[in-house]
Structure 1
Amino acid sequence: MTEERRPTGGTPDPDSLFDALRDDRRRVVVRALLERGERSVEDLVNTVVAHEGGDDTRRSVALSLVHRHLPRLADAGFVEYDGPTGTVVGTPTLAATEPHLRLVSAGGGTSRLTADGDPTHRPD
């Protein structure tokens, strides 16, 4: 990943932020990294499998994290992902996602913003 693709100043780009938080597996990864800033891919795989109730195989989860979710989070500047060592580290920009993560995680349904910017909640 090159430096010029990362946001600066710890402020996430809104499109990158909402893209990152749109997927449940990425939200699980973000929560795990907010709790402890550095994790191994193996640890993140275990966290996702536990969150999903073990329905998916570890291999399937690992492949989706390594080839889809971690690169997307890295491209958006939320994590630094070192594939050869299997290490994932949250960036200062990741910390700025916490209030938004709470919003989309509240209540178990689909949270969204209305046209005037007020958060609402739609039950699934």
Structure 2
Amino acid sequence: MGEAIFTSKAPAAIGPYSQAIKAGDFIYVSGQIPLDPSTGEVVQGIEKQTEQVLQNLKAILDEAGATFREVVKFTIYLKSMDDFATVNEIYGSYLAEPYPARATVEVSRLPKDVLVEMDVVCYQK
């Protein structure tokens, strides 16, 4: 398998999975939803939810000794594509060129009925 990554600065897993797994030169970060790790509550509104998801991802990457610059793949799950422009703008503020590969999909439902979820794959040499 690989080495499990855990930080209390991001929400604990709400099921039988790890926040992230380091396998060789890759770090696979599980989908993050907009739970505030200090309260366990979902933050409200698409802007705040997007920021919280990215902060949760950043905290896990920090724990693994990685940054967004090493992310090679993002997957973004949206409750509504109507939120795409807002999420895209906030997402872009966390990244620099060359940007990672990305897929963005609209889904019918996300855990805890949140508006956005993201996962990443990171490569470290």
Q: TM-score, normalised by structure 1?
A: 0.31
Tell which has more relative contact order, 1 or 2 (C-alpha 8 A, sep 6+).
2
User: Normalized per residue, which structure has more strand?
Assistant: 2
Structure whose CA Rg is larger: 1
Q: TM-score, normalised by structure 2?
A: 0.31
User: Normalized per residue, which structure has more helix?
Assistant: 1
